[in-house]
C-alpha cells in the first residue's frame, strides 16, 4: 500500500491492519503489496497528530526487562495487530536470538526460539520478515515459527550479518549488512554494504562506502532511502530513488553518536536511535532537529504502535521503553 505524505487517505493492504498509521503504514513485505480499499481504512489528516518538540523522556517497561544472565540486546521492534514483536539476542558465541512478543497487558512471551534474527518487519500476510545473522540471510517467519529463505548470498558468497531492512510497496527489499554478527556463521563479504533485492530476487549493491551500515528506512512517498551508519562518525545518508533504483547517496544528517535503527512518523519526520548516547533524535524531512527522546541505557531501534498508533516503542540493552506521543507513525 501507499502512504501519501499530505493526503493520508490510507488503503490497508491486509486484514492485519488497524485504523492508524502504525498498523496501516508502509509495510515491509517480501512480495508485492496490492492495496484494496475498505470502509474502515480511511485516516484523516487530523488523525496524524502533532510531531514531538523539545526534550522528552521514555518510560521503561519493567515487565519486559531481560531475564538473561549475560548481556543482551533487544532489536527490530515491529507492531502487528495488538502486540509488539522484537528480537532478543546475546553477544556471545553465534549470537543466539529469539523473537519475543509483548502483549497489550505487558506480558512477554517467546514467539520463535532460536530465530537468529536482528531487524524485523511485517509483510501483508502478517508474517515476520527478518534480517537473520544466524542464516546470513533475509528470512520470512510465519507466526507459528516456520521459516522460509528470501536471499542469502551476493555473487556466490554469504552475507556478513544482515541487520535491518525496509520494503517498498512493490516488494523491493533494502537491507544493511554490517559485520557486527559476522561470526555467527561461516562466510561473509569483503565489504559492509547496503543491498537492494528486486522483486525478481536479484541482489544489487546500493552503497559499499559506509562503515557498518545499520538502520534503514524509506520515506513515506518511497522516493528517498535513508541509511544510518558510520558508528562514532555517525551519519544518515539519503538516496533519491528514480524508477525504483537508488541513485548516488549524499550525507543527510552528520554528527550522530552511533546511529542505529530508524522509523518515521506520518509527517515524514525521521526518528534516529543513537546507540551509546541513550537517545532518539527526531529530524524533519529537511534534516532539522526538532526533538530528543532519552532513555536510561543503550538504544537500538524504534517503532510506532499501540491501538491508536501513537505510542513510540524503543528497544535497547535488554530493555523496552515507551513514550506516548500525539502523532502516528510506521509500525517498524
Architecture of domain 45-327 in CATH? 6 Propeller (2.120)
Residue ranges per structural domain of the chain: 45-327
Mean pLDDT (the chain, rounded): 87
d(CA 118, CA 134): 9
Residue 90: per-residue pLDDT: 92
Residue 46: per-residue pLDDT: 56
Whether 63 and 108 have beta carbons less than 8 Å apart is answered as yes
User: Which tens digits make up the pLDDT trace of 174-190?
Assistant: 999 999 988 888 899 99
Mean pLDDT of 137-150: 94
241, HSE (Cβ side, Cα atoms, 13 Å) = 17
For the chain, helix (H) and strand (E) counts, in that order, are 1, 30
**Which residues have CB under 8 Å from 321's CB, separation 6+?**
58, 59, 60, 61, 295, 299, 313, 314
Residue 91: per-residue pLDDT: 83
Mean pLDDT of 22-43: 35
pLDDT surpassing 70 at residue 20: no
- Which parts of the chain fold into alpha helices (H)? 45-48
Mean pLDDT of 165-172: 91
pLDDT surpassing 90 at residue 140: yes
Mean pLDDT of 2-20: 34
pLDDT surpassing 70 at residue 27: no
pLDDT surpassing 70 at residue 29: no
Residue 6: per-residue pLDDT: 32
Residue 42: per-residue pLDDT: 30
d(CA 26, CA 10): 10
Q: Is 121 helix (H, G, I), strand (E, B) or coil?
A: strand
d(CA 138, CA 164): 9
- Top pLDDT among 102 and 70 is at 102
Q: What pTM does this model have?
A: 0.87
pLDDT surpassing 90 at residue 44: no
296: which 3 cell numbers? Answer: 536510561
d(CA 2, CA 12): 9
Phi, psi of 232 (to 5 degrees): -65, -25
Q: How far is CA 295 from the centre of its chain?
A: 18
**Which residues have CB under 8 Å from 205's CB, separation 6+?**
154, 193, 194, 195, 196
d(CA 158, CA 99): 23
Residue 122's DSSP bridge partners are 128
Amino acid at each position: 500500500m501507499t502512504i501519501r505524505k499530505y493526503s493520508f487517505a490510507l488503503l490497508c493492504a491486509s486484514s492485519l491492519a488497524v485504523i492508524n498509521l502504525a498498523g496501516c503504514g508502509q509495510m515491509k513485505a517480501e512480495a508485492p503489496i496490492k492495496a484494496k480499499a475498505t470502509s474502515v481504512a480511511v485516516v484523516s489528516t487530523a488523525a496524524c497528530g502533532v510531531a514531538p518538540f523539545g526534550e522528552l523522556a521514555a518510560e521503561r517497561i519493567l515487565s519486559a526487562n531481560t531475564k538473561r544472565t549475560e548481556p543482551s540486546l533487544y532489536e527490530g521492534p515491529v507492531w502487528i495487530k495488538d502486540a509488539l514483536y522484537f528480537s532478543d539476542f546475546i553477544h556471545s558465541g553465534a549470537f543466539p536470538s529469539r523473537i519475543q512478543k509483548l502483549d497489550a497487558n505487558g506480558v512477554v512471551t517467546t514467539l520463535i526460539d532460536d530465530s537468529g534474527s536482528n531487524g524485523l518487519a511485517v509483510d501483508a500476510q502478517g508474517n515476520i520478515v527478518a534480517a537473520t545473522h544466524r542464516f546470513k540471510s533475509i528470512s520470512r517467519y510465519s507466526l507459528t515459527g516456520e521459516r522460509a529463505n528470501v536471499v542469502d548470498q551476493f555473487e556466490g558468497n554469504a552475507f556478513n550479518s544482515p541487520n535491518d531492512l525496509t520494503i517498498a510497496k512493490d516488494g523491493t527489499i533494502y537491507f544493511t549488512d554490517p559485520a557486527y554478527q559476522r561470526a555467527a556463521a561461516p562466510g561473509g563479504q569483503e565489504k559492509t554494504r547496503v543491498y537492494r533485492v528486486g522483486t525478481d530476487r536479484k541482489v544489487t549493491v546500493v552503497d559499499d562506502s559506509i562503515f557498518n551500515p545499520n538502520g534503514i528506512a524509506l520515506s513515506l512517498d518511497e522516493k528517498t532511502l535513508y541509511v544510518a551508519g558510520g558508528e562514532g562518525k555517525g551519519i544518515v545518508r539519503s538516496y533519491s530513488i528514480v524508477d525504483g533504483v537508488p541513485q548516488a547517496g549524499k550525507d543527510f544528517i552528520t554528527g550522530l553518536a552511533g546511529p542505529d535503527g530508524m522509523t518515521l512518523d506520518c509527517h515524514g519526520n525521521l526518528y534516529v536511535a543513537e546507540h551509546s548516547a541513550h537517545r532518539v533524535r527526531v529530524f524533519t524531512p529537511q534534516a532539522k532537529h526538532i526533538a530528543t527522546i532519552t532513555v536510561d541505557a543503550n538504544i537500538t531501534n524504534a517503532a510506532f504502535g499501540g491501538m491508536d498508533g501513537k505510542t513510540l516503542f524503543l528497544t535497547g540493552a535488554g530493555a523496552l521503553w515507551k513514550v506516548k506521543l500525539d502523532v502516528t507513525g510506521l509500525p517498524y
